Structure 1
């Protein structure tokens, strides 16, 4: 069974989200984030990428998936609230999902955005 981590108070969660993960919000006791994509194939790639990170971390978010949108919800069930584990996975998801090759890189990157931070 995973270690029961201390719950972070809502006021601290909100302050940290503004500073560390501005695209995320605290809603109904969950860390939440919506990503938009350019269509169903990209949505499936996004879900699989989040699934890979989550399984590697052994911490599993709730996902809501529709054409062109993925909502991610994180909470540590064993602790019944938001913990450092949720922040850690949210940071990894954000890095992966929004990563693009830097300018001047040998990797061209896609000419069009295919995952949006909205």
Structure 2
């Protein structure tokens, strides 16, 4: 993993090449398209989709950095770009990393938490 130099300002914009390289190193399920970093979370249905939307909403509000969301029955696409800076900044990478950490979290081996049963009735997120 490459050690990325923080920009001198939280609003300093990364080049497209820097964005692509940083996503590859740090957020491999995210991609860069049309000036946004994006991630599509596939769910098993509407209730699960709302759980993802609410999680992203909480994190974005706490960070005071708000994504655009495309919400459908069985997926949520998160799009991040720093509107004020008109590009991708450290704020976008930081929020994307936190969203990824929380939405994709599952209990580890040896955890007292069991995790979602391996049964289609209870699955809600389609993990990568």
TM-score range, shorter chain: over 0.9
Partner of 1:102: 108
Unaligned ranges ≥5, structure 2: 1-8
Instruction: Compute the RMSD of aligned alpha carbons.
Output: 1.4
Q: Deviations over 1:65-98 (max 9, x none)?
A: 0001000000000000000000000000000011
1:34·1:117 contact (CA, 8 Å) conserved in 2? no
Partner of 1:60: 66
| Distance in 2, Cα, partners of 1:87 & 1:96 | 14
Aligned-residue offset at 1:4: 6.6
Name the count of aligned residue pairs. Answer: 116
Q: Secondary structure at 1:115's aligned position in 2?
A: coil
Q: 4+ runs of 1 displaced by more than 3 Å?
A: none
Q: Secondary structure at 2:24's aligned position in 1?
A: helix
| Distance in 1, Cα, partners of 2:124 & 2:100 | 15
TM-score by length of 2: 0.86
TM-score by length of 1: 0.93
Q: Secondary structure at 1:41's aligned position in 2?
A: helix
Q: Secondary structure at 1:64's aligned position in 2?
A: strand
Partner of 2:5: none
Unaligned ranges ≥5, structure 1: none
1:13-28 aligned within 5 A: 13-28=19-34
